[in-house]
Amino acid sequence: MLIRFGLVFLLTFVSANSAFAAGTKHKLPEAKTLDGPISLLGIELGQALSLPACPLDTSYGVTSLVRDYDIHQTCWYAYGKSSVPSYGAVDIHFDYANKPSFLQFGYINVSMRAGLVDKIDVFTNGVRDQDVVYTQLVSKFGKPQVYSKTEQANLMGAKFDVIIAEWHRKDGANVTLFGTLDKFTNGSISASSAAAEEEERARAAAH
């Protein structure tokens, strides 16, 4: 739980305050606005989750999620919940042997609103995988409406080109790729409904 909320905070912080988001992006006029469903790794915005619950370990009288290597299909997990909650956070875990190599963890985070997927957060391995991730997103969604690739340096002087890209849908939903977050080894892909985007803007403005 601490990992989830810490990384979601970092994603919000970067999108609102980082130099990555300030003055480095430009619009691609030839890019078309998204039209149609938005999904990441098989999870679609605006739809209910129709997945089995992840297997649980009840050893020693304590109920907890099994180890990652004991998960053999895509499934959902929410601490203390026996059914998918209508509101709040849900983790989506993947078959350990076949999960995407760019996933930093063995799962992704989903936020629910009124029983439907409202936001999807995928945390990646940062600049190491950003080109592969970007290529896959372009293949799925076409050219982004907003794009930047800027050189960033860490405290040791190592320099990396960092990608930020945004795909927008007419109703206000969007997909965003951050090649890196707080560290060059952390990156993210997020898909947000229009309502989730509005909430995030309000939260950023409050800070």
pLDDT tens across 128-144, in order?
999 999 999 999 999 99
Element (H, E) at 189: strand 187-192
Contact predicate 51/74, CB 8 Å: yes
pLDDT of residue 17: 35
pLDDT of residue 59: 87
Give the chain's residues under pLDDT 50.
1-23, 29
Contact predicate 25/167, CB 8 Å: no
Token readout for 89 is: 């956070």
Contact predicate 58/65, CB 8 Å: no
pLDDT of residue 33: 79
Model's pTM, two decimal places? 0.83
Rounded Cα distance, 23 and 46, in Å = 32
β-pair type (187-192, 116-124): antiparallel
pLDDT of residue 87: 97
Provide the greatest CA pair distance for the chain: 59
pLDDT in tens, 145-186: 999 999 988 878 888 899 999 999 999 999 999 999 988 999
pLDDT of residue 30: 55
